[in-house]
Amino acid sequence: MIRKKPITKEAALLRMADLCARGERCASEIREKLRKLMVPSSTANEIIEYLEENRYIDDLRFAKAYARDKVRFSGWGRNKIRMALAVKRISSSEIREALDELDEEEYLLSLTKAAEAKARTLDLTDYADRAKLYRHLASRGFESGLISKAIREIQE
């Protein structure tokens, strides 16, 4: 078994700063990367503190970008985004703020696209198929009231 030589604090800091400069990251992602590099937790805390002070990491900025991208590119609803951000240890107030800033028009368009794409394979006059569409949209994280409204609009 080959043992890796521990990385220095400076090298870890440079590597994490470079990673953050290339794309939005949250503190928990950086902490996990530092853990994999076998950086002691006290040193990891210092690195994360430095990155936050110098605006390389900002969990609110990350949450807003993450939520926007998941709606736009993945067709996710608020519920699924909320759960994914919670897994990344983003605070509930930051999650709420990120979800509140979503463009409502773009959000509803994403729901409509997902509903219409799935509905093409179903017969919406059949209750079982409507239920299947409902479950599909719920699994994508959309709210039940919006799902029901979208299904009614597609049926018309």
Q: Using the predicted structure, report yes or no on whether residue 112 has a pLDDT greater than 90.
A: yes
Q: Using the predicted structure, report yes or no on whether residue 54 has a pLDDT greater than 80.
A: yes
Number of neighbouring beta carbons within 10 Å of residue 29: 17
pLDDT digits (tens, 9 = 90+) for 58-81: 999 999 999 999 999 999 999 999
What pLDDT does residue 3 have? 58
What pLDDT does residue 6 have? 78
* Whole-angstrom distance, CA of residue 45 vs CA of residue 60: 19
Say if CB 111 and CB 77 are below 8 A apart.
Answer: yes
Q: Which CATH number fits domain 58-102: 2.40.128, 3.30.420, 3.40.50, 1.10.10?
A: 1.10.10
The whole model's pTM is what?
A: 0.90
Q: Which ranges of the chain does DSSP label H, i.e. alpha helix?
A: 9-22, 27-36, 41-53, 59-69, 78-87, 92-100, 104-119, 127-139, 144-155
Q: Using the predicted structure, report yes or no on whether residue 144 has a pLDDT greater than 60.
A: yes
Domain coordinates in residue numbering, the chain: 9-57, 58-102, 103-156
Average pLDDT, the chain: 95
